[in-house]
Amino acid sequence: KLKAHLRRMGARPFDTLFRALGDIREMFDPQKCWNFLKTAGYASD
């Protein structure tokens, strides 16, 4: 879901991507976001 929303918004450069994540953060449960980032290798325990 997250990647689909980012693609739809056309978020490519880092600053645009960061703003897009801020805009859509309310759509997702915080735990689901954490799990996604962890699975993708962007976060660790």
pLDDT, tens digit, 9 for 90 and up, residues 10-45: 767 777 878 887 888 788 888 988 888 899 888 877
Q: Is 19 helix (H, G, I), strand (E, B) or coil?
A: helix
Residue 44: inside a domain: no
The pLDDT, as a whole number, for residue 11 is: 65
Residue 23: inside a domain: yes
- Note down the domain range covering 15: 2-39
What are the Cα distances from residue 33, in Å, to 6, 21? 14, 10
pLDDT at residue 4 above 70? Answer: yes
Burial of 6 (0-12, 13-18, 19+ CB in 10 A): middle
DSSP letter assigned to residue 12: -
Q: Comparing C-alpha atoms, which of 23, 24, 45 is closest to residue 34? A: 45
Residue 9: inside a domain: yes
